[in-house]
Amino acid sequence: MNSIDSHLPFLIMSALTLGSALVVVRVRNIVHAGFWLLPCFLGVAGLYALLQAHFFVVVQVLIYVGAILVLMLFALMLTQDVMNPNKPQTNRMSLPIGVFCIVFAAGVAAILTGHQWVNSNAVILPANVQTRQLGQALIGEYALPFEIASVLLLAALVGAIVLAKSEKEPAPLPLPTLAALPDSKPE
């Protein structure tokens, strides 16, 4: 009983995450799938909060919910009406894939139950210390991966611009100058 009580936040968050993840996979309307990703990501953010990783709660909301998901919804709306929700959304390989995934899940379960778990005695630092350490490690110990990640992001930025640019783009209309506006002197 006591154990259930203390695990209650975890149970709620995991139910939220897994439930909405299942809906994302099951639902036929793709825009609904996008919307159901929202509670799923928020659930993961809640789990981060339970793990005392406060910085990542905020980053999860900021990046996954605030940016990635919005981009996806945007792309969904740009390519709308192509995927009719009444058509099947899945390909013909469902059965073998189902079997494969069950085997995979069983494998994960076997590994997890087979391991001897010891209780962690690691000290959890307060949020501001954690964030500070994270920043210092990014500049110090992890400087090289950090720079590589920034180069990657730059490459993605350039790539996205090249992709989004259509080949023969019409010249942008010049902005009207004040002189070009009709004279609006009161008579």
Partner 1 sequence: MIIPQHVGPIDMVAVIPYIAIICVLAFVLLLVPGLVWIERVVVALIQDRLGPNRVGPRGLLQSIADGVKLFFKEDILPANVDKMVYYLAPVLVIVPALAAGAAIPFSIVKIRLDSGVVEPIPMVVGNVNIGILFILALTSLQVYGIVLAGWASNNKYSLIGGLRSSAQVISYELAMSLAILCGVFICHSLNLVDIVNHQGGYWFGIIPKWNVFQFYGLGAVATIIYLIAMTAETNRAPFDLPEAESELVAGFHTEYSSMKFAIFFMGEYASMLVVSGIATALWFGGWQPLFPFLAFIPGWIWFIGKLMTFIMIYIWVRATLPRLRYDALMSLGWKKLLPMALVVLFLVALVDTLQTPSQPVGSHVAQGHLAASMVIGESQR
Partner 2 sequence: MPAVPTSYYLGLSGVLFTIGMIGVLIKRNPIVIFMCIELMLNAVNLSFIASGRHFGHMAGQMMVIFVMAIAAAEVAIGLGIIVAIFRTKETINIDEINLLKY
Query: Interface with partner 1 by CB under 8 A: which residues?
Result: 31-32, 35, 38, 54-55, 58-59, 61-63, 65-68, 70-71, 73-74, 77-78, 126-128, 131-136, 138-140, 146, 149-150, 153, 156-157, 160-161, 164, 172-173, 175
Number of Cβ atoms within 10 Å of the Cβ of 148: 10
Q: Which of 21, 138 has the CB closer to partner 1?
A: 138
Q: C-beta of 182: minimal distance to partner 1 in Å? A: 14
Q: Which of 3, 184 has the CB closer to partner 2?
A: 3
Q: Which of 5, 183 has the CB closer to partner 1?
A: 183
Where do we find the tokens 């930025």?
A: 157
Whether 77 and 29 have beta carbons less than 8 Å apart is answered as no
Closest CA to 39 of 55, 23, 63: 23
Closest CA to 164 of 66, 73, 71, 81: 71
Contacted by 77, from partner 1, partner 2, none: CB < 5 to 8 Å by type:
partner 1
Q: How far is CA 68 from CA 31, 42, 63, 95, 134, in A?
A: 14, 13, 6, 31, 23
List of residues 6+ apart from 60 with CB closer than 8 A: 41, 44, 45, 48
Q: C-beta of 6: minimal distance to partner 1 in Å? A: 23
Contacted by 40, from partner 1, partner 2, none: CB < 5 to 8 Å by type:
partner 2
Q: Which of 164, 171 has the CB closer to partner 2?
A: 164
